Amino acid sequence: MQNITFKQTFYGIIALILAIVFPLIIANTAAQHVVILFFMFGMMGVAWNIMGGYAGMFSFGQVAFFGIGAYTSSFLLIAYQVNPWIGLIIGGLVAALVAAAIGYPCSDLRGHYFAIASIAFGEIVRIHFNNWKLIGAAEGLSLPMLDEGFKNFMFHSSKLPYYYIMLAFLIISLIVCYLISTSKMGYYFRAIKEGHDVAKVLGINVVWYRLIAIMVSAFLTAMAGTFYAQYVLYIDPESVMLLPISIQIVLISMLGGAGSVMGPVIGALILIPISEVTRMWLGYKGTGIDMIIYGFLITLISVYQPKGVWGLFSNIGKRAK
């Protein structure tokens, strides 16, 4: 649809350089942590965007894929000493399989109906994991401490390696999203979003392309899940399976601009620091003020900037030309 212009390349390179040098200048680990979360949610936003922003399936159950990714690699590591990098791939495949299994029967659902089905799916997965003895049920899984190093996907002395791995993941997901959006498949996705039945009449295999969108999205989201498990070294259903995480992912994409490659990254860049900082400053007392602000923010964005800020940027760019 749109080829990358010289200007976009220029800004992209600047953003990349900034992202690479940031942790070298700012040694504060709390700040680095926020940026890592920004990359991680940015990646999940990009993944959501593939199925939500392009193919029009508004999933509020992404956390299930995130959790499946985190649990698959962690369980394989604990029970069978499977290397986390292999666990990462297997986790992605498992998530994609589950996504196909749930996506197929839901292939005729649209709009609200799909959204609620995805919530129901997320809740079923959460309840199941909460009671599944094999994977620790509600107590969760603690990952074993392995030797530090890239091979084990585990670093104890510094956050820097995690930082760069997550940045690489984010870039990978952006490339995937860009390739899809500029390919024929991207056009099919948009056609399905604009008119499900029309797309069908035009001969697009709607069921098939919707499945692809869901599976790619699930795979990428599960990658973020494995990363999270390796980063925090402890997971339980409360931390990787809760509905608010799904909502956060949707919100990031909407705020940034659903249906644009970079939108979710912008959304995460705005939302994650705000929610992390308000949590650090106000949330520790447990008074709920941070969440009141968050809820208010969601409402405000939906009312005043429902198409996302990315549209704002690109409109300004167009007018300037």
Partner 1 sequence: MGEQLLQQIVNGLLIGFMYALIAIGLTLIWGVMNIVNFAHGDFLMVGMFTSFWLYTLYGVDPLFSIPVCTALLFVMGLLIYRFVVSKVMSGPILAQLVVTFGVSIFIANLAVYLWTPDFRLIAKPLLSGTWDIGGIQLSIPKTVASIGSVIISLFVFLFLKKAKTGKAILATEMDREAALLMGINTERINSLSFGMGAALVGIAGAFLSTYYYIYPQVGGSFGLIAFVVVALGGFGSIEGAFIAGILVGLVQTLGGFFFDPAYKYAIVFMIYLITVWIRPQGLLGW
Q: How far is the CB of 146 from partner 1 (least distance, A)?
A: 33
- Burial letters for 39-75: b for 16+ Cβ neighbours within 10 Å, e otherwise? bbbbbbbbbbbbbbbbbbbbbbbbbbbbbbbbbbbbb
Q: How far is the CB of 272 from partner 1 (least distance, A)?
A: 16
Residues that bind partner 1 (CB under 8 A): 52, 58, 60, 102, 105-106, 108-109, 111-113, 115-117, 119-121, 123-124, 127-128, 130-131, 244, 247, 250-251, 254, 258, 286-289, 291-292, 294-303, 306-307
Tokens of 282: 């106000």
Would you say 102 or 220 has its CB closer to partner 1? 102
Q: How far is the CB of 130 from partner 1 (least distance, A)?
A: 7
Q: How far is the CB of 100 from partner 1 (least distance, A)?
A: 15
Would you say 131 or 158 has its CB closer to partner 1? 131
Q: Which residues contact 53 (CB under 8 A, 6 or more apart)?
A: 253, 257, 258, 259, 260, 263, 264
Would you say 34 or 242 has its CB closer to partner 1? 242
Would you say 82 or 120 has its CB closer to partner 1? 120
Longest alpha-carbon distance in the chain: 61
- Number of Cβ within 10 Å of residue 150's Cβ equals 10
Would you say 186 or 263 has its CB closer to partner 1? 263
Q: How far is the CB of 287 from partner 1 (least distance, A)?
A: 5
Distance in angstroms (rounded) separating the CA atoms of residues 50 and 276 = 26
Q: How far is the CB of 281 from partner 1 (least distance, A)?
A: 15
Strand locations in the chain, DSSP E?
A: 141-142, 234-235
> Hey, is 312 helix, strand or coil?
helix
Q: Which residues lie across from 235 on neighbouring strands?
A: 141
Would you say 19 or 247 has its CB closer to partner 1? 247
Distance in angstroms (rounded) separating the CA atoms of residues 72 and 80 = 11
